[in-house]
Chains A and B, each alone.
Chain A
Amino acid sequence: MLIKSSRVLYLLLIVFVASIFIPKYYWMKFEKNIRSQLVFFSPVKKDFLIRGDNTNVISYFDKAGNKYDRTEFEKLMPLLNYRQLTLDGKLPDSLNGVPLILEKIRMNNLTLKIYPSEIDYKPIQLFPMFESKSGRVQLEMPNDYFRITKRLEFIDCATNAIDEKKTQLFTNNLASNNFSFPAKIIAGNPTSKKAFDQGYFVVDSKNNLFHIKMVKGKPFCVNAMVPENLDIVYMKIMEMPLREFYGLIITKRNEVFLISYDHYKLIKLPLEGYNYKKNILAFMGDLFYRTFSLIGTNSIHTIVTDRNYTIVNSYEAIWKDNDELTAGVVASYIFPFTLRLGDDYSSLSNFYFKISLLHSFIGSIIFSVLTFFILRSRKISLKKGWFDILLVLITGIFGFIAVSLVKNVDKNLE
């Protein structure tokens, strides 16, 4: 019995390792690099321009299929390409009746990409609290880091000890603002390489959203008064010269909000169909429009709004991903499942199964029949070998490799 169980474990080990590595090597050989389309909205044409997935030649087309080369594209997207156009002396003086001033273009140009894998990543929960009004041109990294547990504690880097005075000061301030310790989410940009500092947005234990920063050594803490049932899963803070919004909130229900400078009022973005676990959210902004692209493995959905976030136009496209190409179809027939411990859409190492039992069923049956003959040649009766056959039926090629490599236990010697 013990020997038999030991053999079963050995089979399972082989199946486990094979179901990770064999598909991995298979895809290393056959995977095609499929790039997502890039979708732009031209403020000149008031229509979409799409950069295809042909990566060798940079070319653009519109919905009607007209092709554009790079120079034409740059002209149609003067705000995105203002630096090149300025260099070429081709930047128009005005667009849509608005004079084009370099400083203004630069300030209104926004880009941001949020990947699914950054949403479920929890970094080390220690953050530097910048002095947001230091009077200096450049931000400086502070000498301490803070955490928000039962208090807002500052830990000095040099001594690794808690700065009680500063901790008291901030903790008391937060408490007086009805902050409920500890924090659930702390979001900010812990880098000194940014234009200015807006501190952190913090979700407390009762789901209230607070804006916390340090101003001239003093705590600044404001309750943003967001609805309690918002269920924030992720916040991205953007310290941009265009002081229109502090950043972006993603909720459990796949809603996306901007936190506006106007009393932290939330602006809901019209991003129907967004799934933060599956889509990259690409955000571009300019003087006239906001372009949001929801990018999946084989699709893109682009929504263009005006600066009041009213939908102006939208674009959708799908293409074949690796699973649908020949290699993917073949794989689904060969492998009943593949196991990966990492995923492009998550920062987490976990079990990521891709199951195609139905497609691979014929293969599994063939492998099971082969197993039956192998067992017969080993003089193992069905009664003793049923587990092997069942294993192959479920795990297909992986189980077959295991069973054919590992002989059975002699029936007299168990």
Chain B
Amino acid sequence: MYSALIFKEWLKIRWAFFAMTLLSLLAVIYIALNMAYYTEFMTAKGFWGNVILLGFPFYTEMKYIPALTGIIIAIVQFAPETNDSRLKLTLHLPVDENKLLLQMISFGFVLLLFLFALLTFLLWFIIGIYFPSEVIGFVLKIWTPWSVAGLAAYFLTSAIIVEPIWVRRLIMIPFTLGFIDIFFDLFNHSPQLILFLTIFSLLIATLVLFSGYHFKRGIK
């Protein structure tokens, strides 16, 4: 049963997921090419000085990729469900409705996690070609909130799309934007802050249940 549900989610998500994976890979390749370029034209020590002493953000292309991916995956996964109230079909399946929604959202979550883990590894790898571990750690620390923002964007966008009433959707949008914005404003974040934001983001996955409840409570 679960595998059938995953199959359905995968059918909806796959092209967008491939496209976003491709886009992210292009961004990583672009960064790698840029690093080669800087090494050539600034000289290695000039590039190092810029990065280590001046904090030159050569990885900045990655900033909005996770959030964008999260939003797009949420749209392609849940818009077909709410379009023509197809969610009725899904919720009519002989499975507990909350469990069903959680399974759907956890599948998207796992895909995102996979993509972000892959990107983390690739960043680690390409930066490691040119820089010592200190720089890798520095960049990955900056990258972490950006990828958590992707998860939060996915969960919140899903909840917005499943919500059947436009007024409630409009209420959710500014708080979603505000919450996501927080992740892009962080600098040298403390471990407890990023831990809190990560756990809170994961808990927010259940917001889709509240929207699903509204869907069940009454549709016209």
Contact = CB atoms under 8 A, between A and B. Distances in A.
B182 interface: yes
B45 A141 contact: yes
Contacts of B204: 9, 13
A181 to B, nearest CB: 16
A413 B213 CA distance: 9
A155 interface: yes
A124 B210 contact: no
Given A9-B204, A142-B45, A349-B187, A125 B134 contact: yes
A410 interface: yes
Residues of B contacting A: mostly: helix
Given A13-B204, A157-B44, A158-B44, A6 B210 contact: yes
Contact of A3 (B48, B185, B209): B209
16 contacts: A6-B208, A9-B204, A10-B207, A10-B210, A12-B200, A13-B200, A13-B207, A21-B178, A123-B53, A145-B52, A147-B134, A160-B132, A341-B186, A405-B171, A406-B171, A410-B217
Interface in A150-208: 155, 157-158, 160, 190-191
B140 to A, nearest CB: 12
B83 interface: no
Interface string A9-51: 1101110111011000000000000000000000000000000
Contacts of A347: 187-188
B132 A9 contact: no
A124 B135 contact: yes
A10 B192 CA distance: 21
A350 B190 CA distance: 6
Contacts of B88: none
B132 A155 contact: yes
A160 B179 contact: no
B179 A13 contact: yes
Nearest to B132: A155
Contacts of B209: 2-3, 6
A318 interface: no
A351 B206 contact: no
B189 interface: yes
A145 to B, nearest CB: 6
B130 interface: yes
Interface in B198-220: 200, 203-204, 206-210, 213, 216-217
Interface of B: 43-49, 52-53, 98, 129-132, 134-135, 138, 171, 175, 178-179, 182, 185-190, 192-193, 196, 200, 203-204, 206-210, 213, 216-217
Interface in A363-414: 405-406, 409-410, 413
Nearest to B45: A157
- Which size bracket describes the interface of A in this complex? 35 or more
B148 to A, nearest CB: 13
Nearest to B128: A160
A98 B192 CA distance: 57
Contacts of B179: 13, 16-17
Contacts of A158: 44-45
Given A3-B213, A21-B178, A126 B207 contact: no
Nearest to B171: A405
Given A6-B209, A126-B135, A351-B196, 8 more contacts: A3-B210, A10-B207, A13-B179, A18-B175, A160-B131, A349-B186, A349-B193, A350-B193
A157 to B, nearest CB: 4
B97 to A, nearest CB: 10
Contact of B207 (A6, A18, A413): A6
Contacts of A310: none
Contact of B189 (A124, A155, A350): A350
Contacts of A351: 192-193, 196
B207 A9 contact: yes
A351 B191 CA distance: 11
A5 B209 CA distance: 10
Contact of B48 (A145, A342, A350, A413): A145
